[in-house]
Amino acid sequence: MMTIAASRALSNEDVCFVGIGAPSAACNVARLTHAPDITLIYESGTIGTAPSVLPLSIGDGELCETALTTVAVPEMFRYWLQGGRITVGFLGAAQLDKFGNINTTVIGDYHNPKTRLPGGGGAPEIASSSGQIYITMKQSLRGMVEAVDFFTSFGHGEGGDHRQRLGITTRGPTLLITDLAVWTPDPITKEFIVRSMHPGVTREQVQETCGWQVSFDEAVEETPPPTAVEISTLREINERTAKAHGKS
């Protein structure tokens, strides 16, 4: 459900900064179904890649072999990303708050953390320079928190016009897709609102796995289940990937 819901949000005209894992699957399902002309860009510098299997990492040779071109990482960030040429960037989060601020740095106090996480990598730049941000993550009280312990990637800050007050001109997080629901920010407050819940999911389940008081749209819909074409496309690419990587 997460992968298909994310793929549906992409269009033929998008230039997408892809992440590994679920975002990569979503972007490639979109490319193989309703958005054949989407431009997929991976952080390693591959532009216009069209992998037949899902990459293990941003350095997977499959990406370079199928790309239109490959550029140096500094060019990728300075010319393509910071130059405003990316329409959608995908991000995940160890911690996320209701305004789309992301922590992937530390859990607890920065100088004496309970857990030290992998860090930001290119995520802070992606969060600020992509036209808009799509976030994918599994819901949990540990992950969806009232306040993040560290601002790794800036979302909507304190909400409202905080991005604009800081001089950030991009839209920031516009979509949150979890294993239970699809969320979008309120136009004014920028707090994430549940717009649809996946089949069989209840409001109680959404609240029990979220660390802030959840706001629901006045007319919450059911997320449409995958079509036959969408699910077969996803299964086929997963099967090719497993075979290529020597998994049964």
User: pLDDT tens track of the chain, all 248 residues?
Assistant: 999 999 999 999 999 999 888 899 999 999 999 999 999 999 899 999 999 999 988 888 889 999 999 999 999 999 999 999 999 999 999 999 999 999 999 999 999 999 999 999 899 999 999 999 999 999 999 999 999 999 999 999 999 999 999 999 999 999 999 999 999 999 999 999 999 999 999 999 999 999 999 999 999 999 999 999 999 999 999 999 999 888 65
C-alpha span between 82 and 78 (Å, rounded): 5
- Predicted structure pTM score: 0.95
Q: Where are the domains of the chain?
A: 2-244
- H/E stretch holding 175: strand 173-177
What 3-state class would DSSP assign to 21? Answer: coil
Residue 142, token pair as written in the block:
């540990």
C-alpha span between 182 and 191 (Å, rounded): 13
Of 43, 62, 191, 230, catalytic:
43
Q: Under CATH, which number does the domain 2-244 receive?
A: 3.40.1080.10
Q: What are phi and psi of 5, to 5 degrees?
A: -60, -40
43 is known as an active-site residue: yes
